[in-house]
Every structure is written in C-alpha cells, then in structure tokens.
C-alpha cells in the first residue's frame, strides 16, 4: 500500500496526519527530485458532529492537489512543483482547532486551506495574522473572518450575509408569518448580526430563535420550544446533524412547515433529508453537482474518481475541490517569482483572477478578499434530488 493510500485511509478514519501526494513521501518543504514542495495545512472536523463535512472538504482538496501533482510531474519531471496537505482533526471544537492552527504554522505550512469551522477560523485569526500566513478557502460563510480588519484572508465562496439575504427573501416571498431561526451556539456575533440585517431588510420577525451545540446528540428542549411556537417556516444555519434530528422530531410533533438551510449543512443534509422523507430549501455556494456541463464540476468528478477512497462528487467535496484548485493556482503564480512562500502566496492571492470552468474566483482590487459571491437557492426533494 502506498504512503498516499495509507494517509488517505488514516485521514478518512478521523486520524490526524499528513497526506503525501503523488511521488512525495516525506513531510518536508523540499521535493525529492529537487522541485519545490508546497505544504498546505488544514484543521478539519474529521470526527464529531461534522465528521462527514470535514471528510468531504478534505477529499475535495486532496483530489485537486493530486491532479495538480500529476500534471506538474508530467510537464516538469523530477523538478516539478508538488503539493502536500497536512490535516489535523479538530472535531469541530474551537480550542482544538486553534491549537491545530498553531501547530500547522509551527510545522511550516505555506498556507492554511479549507478549515471546516468558521468559528475556529475566527478564533485563530490572531495566530494567522501574526504569522502572516494566508488563510484560504475556509469552508464556511462566517462573517467574523470577512471583516475589513481580517487581512490576508481569501474566500472562494460567498459569505453568510449573501446567503441570508437570499434565504430570508425566499421566506418573505412565500408569505410566512411565523418563522423560527436555529443557529449554532458558538456562531460569530457577526453572523447573528448579518441574519438580523437580512431579517430587518425583508421585514421578517422570527417568532422564536434558538441556539444549538453542533456536536450535541439530543435537541429535545429546542424541539419542544419550536413545536410550541406553531411555526409555518424554520430557518437553520447549522451543520447537518442538528437539522436532520430536529426535523425528524418536529415532524413527529406535527410540524408541517417549510424548512430552509444554509450551505454549511453540506452534502450530508442532501443525503440525509432523503432518508427522512422530507424536502428542504437550501442555499448553495458552489455549482450544482449535477451540472456536469460545467467544466469545474465534471473535472471534480473525474479527479475524485482518480483520487479513490470512496469520495463522491457532492456540494461539499466540490467546495473543497475549488479551494484546492485556487491554492494550486496561487502557488503556481507565486512560483514565478521563486520558491512559493507565505509572503509570495499572499501576494499571488491578492491579485488572483481565475476561471475554473464555470466558477470564477476574483481577488482583484474591486473584490478584495471576496473571491466569489455565487449563491443559488435550490429545493432538495424527499428523494435527495435538486429540483428547484
């Protein structure tokens, strides 16, 4: 079994470690054949309530990096630019994630990519900015890492402010009178403010608002509170686990209203809602996985198949894949001035404009840290199909 395969299996099992891609077997910044090696660092929820989400984001990034390593080797041989991804499991726990970020920085990562918790990314900002390390493609719309003061941060997906406006507009257009809102207890204050602004702009006033623990196993008190409110609509901005459990329990209690979810619920919600026999409105920040006519979607499907390990094309693997592709493009741009470093990666990202094949990312002067504002509102039917 190759080192790459062993690393893959270990990572998907929730074990922390380094994924050495292509011909590289060592956790170093010097390629075995003399070429430069770009080590990327990731703190991800490979265990806990967001396990599926973290694994999917990581698989997407790895598929993009493996494809890049293959292409670089075919072109430049033993002196090719190569990529590694060191992933540490945070279990969706803030303190663990911050400790992981410190370790990745100390271990010499050239950039951080694909963190799977916005709360962790926000808490780690002082470390990130002190180290002057790029933070790229956090798989969250967290608004706390989208403030003007958050220098050196690059987002490849839309923020929650854009998502929330679209979600609340949907609620308003359906004429719902009694709407509930469920959010994560550890969410950023900036996230709550973004939702409040969206609600005020649409003149929608929630009848009840509750916070939940992303890793909790039971939501009985929150379900009881929501059921008593007699809602006709319910908005979630949580990971998939709380949504699936609460929707099941609310349905048993007689709730028949519409449910709305943010992109953070990921592919796990798409698959799980079908098992629950329910439908849900969901915001997507990447193209639909069934849009194989788009080059980025089709290439992701092919690269995931080549990557192996059972990873499948879905909205979360696609988000990770896009982050990985952007990291590769930034490193290639940085290499033109010499060996990719944290400083050259930051400079390259600040100027990067790339079309991945139907999904554009633009960090030019006009857009700043916000590489994309793409949001699509879709309906996931009871069979797990995107129909709207």
Residue at 336 is within a domain: yes
Question: Are 31 and 72 within one domain?
Answer: yes
* Whether residue 33 has pLDDT greater than 70: no
Q: 130 CB contacts (<8 Å, ≥6 apart)? A: none
Segment 134-143 mean pLDDT: 96
CATH of the domain at 132: 3.40.50.2300
Tens of pLDDT along 175-233? 898 999 999 998 888 899 999 999 999 999 999 999 999 989 899 999 999 999 999 99
Is residue 287 within 8 A of residue 359, CB to CB? The reply is yes
Write down which residue in 264, 284, 304 finishes a domain: 284
Give the whole-angstrom CA distance, residue 147 versus residue 361: 19
* Whether residue 285 has pLDDT greater than 90: yes
Write down which residue in 262, 284, 306 finishes a domain: 284
Residue at 387 is within a domain: no
Residue at 374 is within a domain: no
Question: Are 143 and 206 within one domain?
Answer: no
Write down which residue in 246, 261, 284 finishes a domain: 284
pLDDT band at 151 (very low <50, low <70, confident <90, very high): confident
Task: Please report, in angstroms and rounded to a whole number, the separation of the first and last CA atoms in the chain.
Answer: 44
Segment 113-127 mean pLDDT: 96
pLDDT band at 373 (very low <50, low <70, confident <90, very high): very high
Counting the structural domains of the chain, the total is: 2
Token pair listed for 277: 């026999």
Question: Are 260 and 321 within one domain?
Answer: no
Is residue 236 within 8 A of residue 343, CB to CB? The reply is no
Residue at 383 is within a domain: no
Give the whole-angstrom CA distance, residue 170 versus residue 260: 9
Q: How many CB atoms lie within 10 A of CB 297?
A: 23
Per-residue pLDDT at 34: 57
Q: How many CB atoms lie within 10 A of CB 252?
A: 10
Per-residue pLDDT at 28: 28
Residue at 154 is within a domain: yes
Per-residue pLDDT at 21: 41
Question: Are 71 and 219 within one domain?
Answer: no
Give the whole-angstrom CA distance, residue 187 versus residue 260: 18
* Whether residue 38 has pLDDT greater than 50: yes
Segment 20-41 mean pLDDT: 53
Decide: helix, strand or coil at residue 327.
helix
Per-residue pLDDT at 283: 96
Give the whole-angstrom CA distance, residue 211 versus residue 204: 19
Question: Are 168 and 219 within one domain?
Answer: yes
Judge if pTM exceeds 0.85: yes
Per-residue pLDDT at 160: 94
Residue at 301 is within a domain: yes
Q: 359 CB contacts (<8 Å, ≥6 apart)? A: 286, 287, 294, 296, 322, 372, 374
Tens of pLDDT along 159-188? 999 999 999 998 899 889 899 999 999 888
* Whether residue 354 has pLDDT greater than 90: yes
Question: Are 207 and 77 within one domain?
Answer: no
Q: Please name every residue paired with 136 in a beta bridge, in sequence order, or none if there are none.
A: 113, 154
Question: Are 211 and 66 within one domain?
Answer: no
Domain membership of residue 208 as a residue range: 160-284
Residue at 151 is within a domain: yes
Percentage of the chain surpassing pLDDT 90?
Answer: 74
Phi/psi for 165 (5° steps) reads -60, -40
Per-residue pLDDT at 25: 26
Decide: helix, strand or coil at residue 259.
strand
Higher pLDDT, 5 or 143: 143
Is residue 194 within 8 A of residue 143, CB to CB? The reply is yes
Question: Are 310 and 259 within one domain?
Answer: no
Segment 95-99 mean pLDDT: 97
């Amino acid at each position: 079994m190759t080192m790459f395969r062993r690393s893959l299996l270990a990572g998907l099992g929730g074990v922390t470690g380094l994924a050495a891609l292509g011909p590289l077997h060592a956790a170093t910044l010097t390629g075995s054949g003399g070429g430069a090696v770009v080590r990327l660092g990731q703190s991800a929820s490979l265990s806990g309530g967001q396990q599926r989400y973290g694994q999917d984001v990581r698989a997407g990034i790895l598929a993009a990096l493996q494809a890049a390593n293959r292409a670089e080797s075919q072109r430049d041989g033993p002196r090719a630019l190569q990529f590694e991804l060191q992933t540490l499991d945070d279990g969706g726990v803030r303190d663990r994630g911050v400790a992981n970020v410190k370790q990745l920085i100390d271990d010499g990562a050239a950039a951080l990519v694909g963190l799977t918790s916005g709360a962790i990314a926000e808490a780690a900002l002082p470390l990130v900015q002190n180290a002057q390390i790029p933070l790229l493609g956090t798989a969250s719309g967290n608004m706390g890492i989208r403030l003007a003061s958050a220098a050196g941060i690059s987002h490849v997906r839309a923020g929650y402010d854009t998502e929330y406006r679209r979600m609340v507009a949907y609620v308003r257009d359906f004429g719902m009178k009694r709407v509930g809102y469920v959010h994560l207890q550890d969410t950023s204050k900036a996230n709550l403010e973004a939702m409040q602004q969206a609600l005020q702009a649409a003149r929608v006033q929630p009848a009840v608002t509750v916070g939940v623990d992303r890793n909790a196993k039971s939501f009985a008190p929150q379900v009881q509170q929501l059921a008593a409110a007699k809602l006709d609509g319910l908005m979630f901005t949580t990971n998939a686990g709380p949504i699936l459990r609460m929707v099941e329990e609310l349905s048993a209690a007689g709730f028949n209203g519409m449910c709305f979810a943010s992109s953070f619920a990921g592919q796990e919600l798409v698959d799980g809602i079908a098992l629950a026999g329910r439908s849900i409105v969901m915001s997507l920040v990447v193209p639909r996985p069934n849009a194989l006519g788009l080059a980025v979607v089709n290439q992701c499907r092919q690269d995931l198949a080549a990557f192996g390990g059972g990873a499948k094309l879905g909205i979360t693997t696609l988000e990770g894949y896009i982050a990985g592709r952007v990291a590769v493009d930034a490193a290639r741009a940085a290499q033109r001035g010499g060996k990719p470093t944290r400083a050259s990666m930051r400079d390259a990202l600040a100027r990067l404009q790339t079309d991945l094949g139907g999904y554009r990312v633009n960090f030019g002067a006009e857009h700043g840290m916000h590489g994309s504002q793409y949001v699509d509102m879709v309906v996931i039917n009871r069979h797990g199909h995107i129909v709207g």
